Amino acid sequence: MSELALRAEKADAADELAGVRDRFVLDTVSDHAAGAAGVYLDGNSLGALPAHVPGRVEDVVRRQWGELRIRSWDESGWWTAPERIGDRIAPLVGAAAGQIVVGDSTSVNVFKALVGAVRLAGEGRDEILVDATTFPTDGYIAESAARLTGCVLRPVTPAGVPDALGDRTAAVLLNHVDYRTGRLHDLPALTAAIHAAGAVAVWDLCHSAGALPVGLDEHGVDLAVGCTYKYLNGGPGSPAYLYVRRELQDLFDSPLPGWNSHAEPFGMSPSYAPAPGAVRGRVGTPDILSMLALEAALDVWEGVRIEAVRAKSLALTDFFLECVEAYLPAGRVDCLTPVAHEERGSQIALRCADAGDVMKRLIERGVVGDFRHPDVLRFGFTPLYVGFADVERAARVLGEVVDGS
């Protein structure tokens, strides 16, 4: 056994989160060469399945829907699920209860938040700044929101935001972690700069929630959105969420008012009156099956501290980079992810000339990451179920693949 493999074994034995791994159904694809269990490093795209979720979903389908039917809106708590599940996500992003509502997709929630942010900013502010490196959909939504609100859209890098802010800036939409490189942006400092300019801060937490502390309340974030199928393990297409800071809730004017966000949803009034609190972020009927699967998935966080998750994430990514340096020929890959802990999310992105073919061969060997056009290998590290032996093996197999072994 190599020195790195021995270190991985010792680190796994000392890992306070090691037992959480048993709460998941993990990839059993074998390494055809070594016969080892697979390594899943794509939780930053789709989290692994919590082992107890299928049974909970079966109960929702067979009993709550099949037997109770319409009674489940009250008796099974379907109607209050968006706020109840939002309150369970809240501690993972540093928010008090009553500020997060679950439902709709990330894209729909970005639209609600960004248009709502412009309306919060008020008259005289007709400019939206958007992260120039953002996930494409955020940019598309921002462009549409700018047209709808009569604003000018200015793409800027997160680092360029402080200099780009002005007295015309209404809202700024930023990603907490860059989806390609894994770079972690400075949410506290950027939020403070946005507020100093009199603008509204909107953060996309898709690649940070469940992987590291966010501190929405602590840092005074105005609005935030995020998905739940990555580090929160809610399942494919699981509903996203919208955070509205408590002090802004009575002022938040959603561009998508629906009967579910009405103050009297069953009054069927022809005129709209928004509900108080985060409920006004709802639109239509909740997507109950996927929402309750998400609620079940969140049980894996019982007894887990997000600070411990962050500490393990940094240790895993540090160790992966060390193993890559040891196992790969010099210059074969370039790391796009910052080395500094304060600038790193929970993924490592490596630039590799033949990245698409390399990833295909890695997956054939049981190491699952993903490929981003044109030349990026992405590896996501989910501390709840990824261990140090997984990391060592993934880097070793990567070395064998790029070396043609």
The set of catalytic residues is 135, 204, 229-230, 378
Beta bridge partners of residue 350, listed in sequence order: 335, 377
346/182 Cα distance (integer angstroms) = 7
188 upstream amide cis, omega within 30 of 0: no
Whose tokens are 């981003």? That residue is 372
Give me the helix-helix angle, 106-121 and 136-149, nearest 10°. Answer: 40
Secondary structure (H, E, C), 167-231 = CCEEEEEEECECCCCCEECCHHHHHHHHHHCCCEEEEECCCCCCCCCCCCCCCCCCEEEECCCCC
Compute CA 336 distance to the chain's CA centroid, rounded to the nearest angstrom: 20
370/359 Cα distance (integer angstroms) = 7
Q: Which of 157, 43, 92, 71 is nearest to 310 (CA)?
A: 92
CB 104 within 8 A of CB 283: yes
Would you say the C-alpha torsion 173, 274, 92, 195 has a positive or negative sign?
positive
135/105 Cα distance (integer angstroms) = 14
